[in-house]
Amino acid sequence: MTYEEAKEILDQVRMGQGDAFSPLVIHLALWHTGDARPHETVRSTRVDTEIPAEDWRAWSRQRAIMVGGSKA
């Protein structure tokens, strides 16, 4: 399946003619257009790490410092 064929299939599904295609063909078309690929594979190298978890106490202290500094 080429990219153009995949776009044609997805266009037909969008127009309501999706009964002619199996879910496997639709998923394959989505994969070829890049819409069904996992997000981890398309991440850039700088955002491939998880966000560090903070407990609520650290967040509360940081918030208090920010609010206290803005009142001055």
The per-residue pLDDT for range 17-61, each reduced to its tens digit, is 878 888 899 889 988 888 776 655 555 666 666 666 777 787 777
What is the C-alpha to C-alpha distance for residues 63 and 65, in angstroms, rounded to an integer?
5
| Pair of tokens at residue 21 | 């295609």
| Pair of tokens at residue 34 | 């890049």
**pLDDT the model gives residue 4:** 92
pTM flag (> 0.95): no
**pLDDT the model gives residue 50:** 67
